[in-house]
Amino acid sequence: MTSQKKNGRVGFRLYLITDRHVVKSGISSRRAKLRCRRRHPVRLRCSFARKDLPARDLYELAIRLREICTRAGALLIVNDRVDVAIAANADGVHSAVRLDWRQHGAQAARTTRLIGVSSHSPPDVSGAAREGADFAVFGPIFDPLSKPAAGPVWGASGLSAACRAGAIPVFALGGITPSAARELFESADPAAKPAGVASIGAIFAADSPALATAAMLSALRSPTAQR
């Protein structure tokens, strides 16, 4: 899967981000329940971070998720810990802290792994593109479902500005439900559409994450999202 880096392409459209404060059962068991829905030509990405875990425990969790994601045909990307991403043979690393981006990006770039960056303004996206990131997660677009917003929401117009800011794929994060995803793609300028959506609460806080994933994938396969 790391060949995506060499091809300069990010092949997924739905970006699943785990959060231990949101997941109703164990992360690995919830992720396992999603694999029965992996029947669509949409690449899933599962990102996770457990900053409260010792490195060894984090590595063991990453190994379990690596096995699950491989069976599901999904990518696995680890937040912040490049060493764990490499040791667990993850497909990439995501820098959630802007100040750490250059360090993480330099380490990950040497391994051909995908590099993602969290962004909270259009200049963040343009900066990440200049520094070699493969994609950016931008938000919040709407009020988050999983936690209070840390700042003002950007809405559809802010998302379009972020998509224009840098020549890398942008994923919309924050309050993204299937209906919100359809709305974003229907209202977006064709020249400034997001590459996909990122989700925490809409998937992992759902009673059935598999059904929630299927609904989100359906929204991403709608005619307006494909154009």
- At 93-152, the pLDDT tens digits run 888 755 455 555 556 555 678 889 999 999 999 998 988 889 999 999 999 887 776 778
Closest CA to 178 of 224, 120, 119: 224
Residue 159 is predicted with a pLDDT of 96
Mean pLDDT of the chain: 78
The tens digit of pLDDT for each residue in 172-194 reads 999 999 999 999 998 888 888 99
In sequence order, the β-bridge partners of residue 75 are: 45
Please state, in angstroms and rounded to a whole number, the distance separating the CA atoms of residues 13 and 198.
8
In sequence order, the β-bridge partners of residue 16 are: 46, 199
Secondary structure class of 29 (helix, strand, coil): helix
